[in-house]
Amino acid sequence: MHIPEMKTGKEALLVLGCPQVPVQTAIALYLMHSLRRLGVRPVVAGNQAARMLIEVSDPAHHYAGEMVDLDGCITELAAGKRKYDYFMVFVHNDAGVSYGATVQSITGKKVVLIIYGEHFSEISDSVDFPCEKIAAKAVHNPMPLKKKIDEVLNWLVSNL
Amino acid sequence: MACIESLKYEIVLKGASFSECREYIKKNCREVLTVDPGTLLFEKPIIGIPPVFIGLDGDTITFPYTKPCYGTFLLRTENPEEALRLRKMPRK
């Protein structure tokens, strides 16, 4: 199905975490779809397993666009070689919080943390750097997180 | 210089928080460097919640290392070249 897209020339970096929580790939693809509808081009950063899950789920890249290695992406951001308009970091464990804090510290921009998993509430409470949070208890069923994204994405894209 | 996976390192703490890593480095290392996340160490950007501490004892470097699937480790390794490079970096 064709996705009607506006063109804004803006790019969002989606930083994927460890893909051990099943909803991550589905939510990442849904978020890419929603961003494209708002005219924002998604770029996905993740480790090889996280990227391959996207690649196999969306082989024709209807939703996914460019995909980059996570370490290489952080290195480029730190060196100021690449800039994005939005930063969305997937978080379901302490490592995800560390990646979110790193992206925020390097870019100085407010990042959006997409917090999910069994312990989403404790993880959300542990975050004390400037960010917006989209948080829901989503492990196998992506719908609670999808609903939250639907509620706030337009606002985030207009206001960040 | 070598990338972290190819180093001989000792795991000091496993599944540690960044405040636990800072605490350990402050108590146990002779010199403490404060660096920004994204600073290159062994050719990889440091991932972490600021302030990120690196400990130095002679040529031994103690540093946090985060992997998406395994969380944060505090590692210790001996590397004269990298220790010298760290000492030459502008101090925060």
What is the tens place of the pLDDT at every residue in B15-69? 998 899 999 999 999 999 999 999 999 988 999 999 999 999 999 999 999 988 8
Average pLDDT over residues A119-147: 95
Domain boundaries along the sequence of chain B: 8-88
Question: Taking CB atoms and an 8 Å limit, are A70 and B44 in contact across chains?
Answer: no
What's the pLDDT score for residue B63? 97
Torsion of CA B15, B18, B20, B24, to 10 degrees: 110
What's the pLDDT score for residue B1? 44
Kindly state whether B51 is in contact with chain A, defined as any CB-CB distance less than 8 angstroms.
no
Give yes or no for residue A104 having a pLDDT over 80: yes
Please give the class, per CATH, of domain A11-152: alpha beta
Mean predicted lDDT score pLDDT of chain A? 93
How far does B8 lie from chain A, in Å, by closest CA? 21
Interface test with A, best of B34, B49, B52, B73 (most A CBs within 10 A): B49
CB pairs under 8 A between A and B: 69
What's the pLDDT score for residue A6? 63
Question: Taking CB atoms and an 8 Å limit, are B49 and A129 in contact across chains?
Answer: yes
Q: Kindly provide the ipTM of the predicted complex, given to two decimals.
A: 0.87
For the stretch B22-28, contacts whose Cβ atoms lie closer than 8 Å and that sit 24 or more positions apart, written own/partner, are: B22/B51, B22/B53, B24/B62, B24/B74, B25/B53, B25/B54, B25/B55, B25/B62, B25/B74, B26/B53, B28/B55, B28/B62
How far does A30 lie from chain B, in Å, by closest CA? 21
Q: Which of A71, A94, A129 sits opposite B45 (nearest CB)?
A: A71
What's the pLDDT score for residue A103? 97
Give yes or no for residue A153 having a pLDDT over 90: yes
**What are the pLDDT digits (tens) for A4-27?**
566 678 999 999 999 999 999 999
Question: Taking CB atoms and an 8 Å limit, are B44 and A93 in contact across chains?
Answer: no
What's the pLDDT score for residue A8? 72
Average pLDDT over residues A40-48: 96
What's the pLDDT score for residue B90? 82
What's the pLDDT score for residue B52? 95
Mean predicted lDDT score pLDDT of chain B? 91
Find, among B4, B7, B10, the residue nearest to B75 by Cα. Answer: B10
Confidence of residue A123 (pLDDT cuts 50, 70, 90): very high
Domain boundaries along the sequence of chain A: 11-152
What's the pLDDT score for residue B83? 96
Find, among A116, A121, A114, the residue nearest to A140 by Cα. Answer: A116
A93 and A123 Cβ atoms separated by less than 8 Å: yes
What's the pLDDT score for residue B69? 85
What's the pLDDT score for residue A113? 98
Q: Which of B15, B37, B67 sits opposite A101 (nearest CB)?
A: B37
How far does B57 lie from chain A, in Å, by closest CA? 26
Burial class (CB in 10 A: 0-12, 13-18, 19+), B30: exposed
